[in-house]
Amino acid sequence: MSHAGAPQEMSARVKGPLTGEAHVPGDKSISHRSLILGAMAVGKTTITGLLEGEDVLDTAKAMRAFGAEVSRDADGVWSVHGVGTGGFAEPDRVIDCGNSGTGVRLVMGAVATCPISVTFTGDASLCSRPMARVTDPLALFGTQAVGRSGGRLPMTLVGAADPVPVRYVVPVPSAQVKSAVLLAGLNAPGRTVVIEKEATRDHTERMLAGFGAEISTEVTEEGRVITLTGQPELKPQAIVVPRDPSSAAFPVCAALIVPGSDVLVPNIGLNPTRAGLFETLREMGADLTYENPREEGGEPVADLRAKYSPDMQGISVPPERAASMIDEYPILSVVAANASGRTEMRGVAELRVKESDRIEAMATGLLANGVSVEAGDDWWIVEGAGPGSVAGGATVETHLDHRIAMSFLCLSLASQDPVVVDDAGPIATSFPIFRNLMEALGATFQTES
Ligand code: S3P
């Protein structure tokens, strides 16, 4: 599913401070995994707090197409009757993953060791993104893939009828690749080993253990060595999805740059493999506190309080932190533009293969709105001129990328003239209540068409 209709131009302003509580939706990464693992378990998994964004709804549809029963019982409450590891049936239609790289790559992994053929497609953004990073390791199990040139969607996977376990060193820091290999390994006999040199989000490992799989992680000289024993019977779970730190980033960062703001964002998942942005903001001098830290459903959680922070300074973000905040660089650059001095972001080549080329999209949009930016292959630098310094006034292209759209709408809240985004439609992929939530805090939105 792609968000339908004509592009929706939009800008955002404030009349005063942003104040109040912002209840952001469930975590996107955990929501996809809940549906997929629920569909691979035997029996009924219940999921509370599922993100009902387009990306996740596309994964729910895919699970139905493979024979799992997936139903929505109430707002955010879903149940999945799984068909067991290796139990997926061949779908009678093309699987459309919309805008979601996570959806398509994880689902490819989950079907790769089932004896079925599946054709995948997506929207223009997803059809331009690299899939070989997933189909290369899946080929080691015996899976065949035929797609367009450059390993792009649409693509057909022929699952391995007689899969063998694999040992794979992930060549790029990607939780999607790691997870695809682990999900494929579930239906291969013996032990599948995945090694990552840099730690990426570990929701798949945590959830596999929760579903009863035998999985262990060891930190060695090679990196994180994850060993999974194949063909377990996954036991259905009652999952409570924590709220998404990547969505929380928008109201948090908006509060830091809008004068007088004080916003509480409750129940945010703060898994260390995801919380790099908040650490970075605190190092910049943000007034950002973790209240009531606790553990829920195996994940660390806290309430975030963000207050207007006029004294933030630019910093060099440690490259080894990149994986833990990879989706947050666009909104960090908006904060950096309102801080004083240089913010250097290095070791971020992966930003070029997200829903858009995020270095290009942010650098172009920031420059057009009067911010000084320099960019190279795997780095970019934003020269902040302090609170309220951004001129604004330009329209930016969002390239079907929800996070680019939300980042520039947040910039617009603190710029001298409004910043206009050419299409706010993709926000529905990850954060369908973004506009309502920001309005409740005090923002106003103008739609231009
Ligand atoms: C995700 C992993 C990240 C991230 C994406 C969600 C996941 O991608 O950008 O939004 O849920 O595994 P990579 O693992 O490719 O970096």
Ligand 1 atom with the smallest distance to the CA of 175 is: 14
Q: How far is the CA of 397 from the centre of ligand 1 (A)?
A: 22
pLDDT at 449 exceeding the cut of 60: no
User: Which domains does the chain carry?
Assistant: 10-26+242-447 (3.65.10.10), 28-240 (3.65.10.10)
Sorting pLDDT into bands at 50, 70 and 90, what band is 271? Answer: very high
Ligand 1 atom with the smallest distance to the CA of 200 is: 14
Annotated binding-site positions:
28-29, 33, 101, 129, 174, 176, 327, 354, 358, 403
Annotated binding-site positions for phosphoenolpyruvate:
28, 101, 129, 176, 358, 403
Phi-psi group of 445: left, alpha or beta (phi > 0 → left; psi -120 to 50 → alpha; rest → beta) = beta
pLDDT at 26 exceeding the cut of 60: yes
**Averaged pLDDT for residues 96-123:** 98
Tell me: cis bond preceding 154? Omega within 30 of 0 counts. yes
Burial annotation 224-258 (CB, 10 A radius, 16+ → b, else e): bbbbbbbbbebebbebbbbbbbbbbbbbbbbbbbb
Smallest CA separation from ligand 1 atom 15, residue: 174
> Which stretch of 103-112, 229-238, 295-304 has the lowest confidence by average pLDDT?
295-304
- Sequence-distant (6+) residues with CB within 8 A of 252 are 263, 265, 278, 281, 288, 304, 306
**Averaged pLDDT for residues 397-422:** 98
Mutation test of ligand 1: which of 100, 176, 203, 226 has the most ligand atoms closer than 8 Å to its C-beta? 176
Give the model's pLDDT for residue 220. Answer: 97
Task: Kindly list the protein residues whose Cβ atom lies closer than 6 A to any atom of ligand 1.
Answer: 29, 102, 174-176, 179, 200-201, 326-327, 350, 354
pLDDT at 294 exceeding the cut of 50: yes
pLDDT at 1 exceeding the cut of 50: no
Smallest CA separation from ligand 1 atom 5, residue: 102
**Averaged pLDDT for residues 110-139:** 98
Q: How far is the CA of 205 from the centre of ligand 1 (A)?
A: 14
d(CA 151, CA 159) in angstroms, rounded, equals 17
For residue 161, what is the DSSP state?
S
DSSP element (H, E) containing 146: strand 144-148
Q: What is the pLDDT of residues 201-217, one digit of tens each?
A: 999 999 999 999 999 99
Give the model's pLDDT for residue 3. Answer: 61
The burial class, CB within 10 Å (0-12 / 13-18 / 19+), for 220 is exposed
Ligand 1 atom with the smallest distance to the CA of 28 is: 11
Percent residues over pLDDT 70 in the chain: 99
Q: What is the pLDDT of residues 140-194, one digit of tens each?
A: 999 999 999 999 999 999 999 999 999 999 999 999 999 999 999 999 999 999 9
Q: How far is the CA of 390 from the centre of ligand 1 (A)?
A: 30
**Averaged pLDDT for residues 228-237:** 98
Ligand 1 atom with the smallest distance to the CA of 327 is: 9
Annotated binding-site positions for 3-phosphoshikimate:
28-29, 33, 174, 176, 327, 354
Catalytic annotation, pick one of 123, 202, 287, 327 = 327
d(CA 111, CA 68) in angstroms, rounded, equals 13
Q: What is the pLDDT of residues 327-371, one digit of tens each?
A: 999 999 999 999 999 999 999 999 999 999 999 999 999 999 999
How high does pLDDT run on average in the chain?
Answer: 97
DSSP element (H, E) containing 10: strand 10-14
What SS3 state is found at 70? strand
Sorting pLDDT into bands at 50, 70 and 90, what band is 5? Answer: confident
Percent residues over pLDDT 90 in the chain: 97
Q: Please confirm, yes or no, whether 244 is among the known catalytic residues.
A: no
DSSP element (H, E) containing 37: helix 28-40
Smallest CA separation from ligand 1 atom 4, residue: 327
Give the model's pLDDT for residue 298. Answer: 77
Q: How far is the CA of 171 from the centre of ligand 1 (A)?
A: 15
Smallest CA separation from ligand 1 atom 11, residue: 29
Q: How far is the CA of 191 from the centre of ligand 1 (A)?
A: 24
pLDDT at 317 exceeding the cut of 70: yes
Q: How far is the CA of 174 from the centre of ligand 1 (A)?
A: 6
Ligand 1 atom with the smallest distance to the CA of 350 is: 16
CA distance to 16, 259, 288, 306, per residue, from 262 (Å):
11, 9, 10, 6
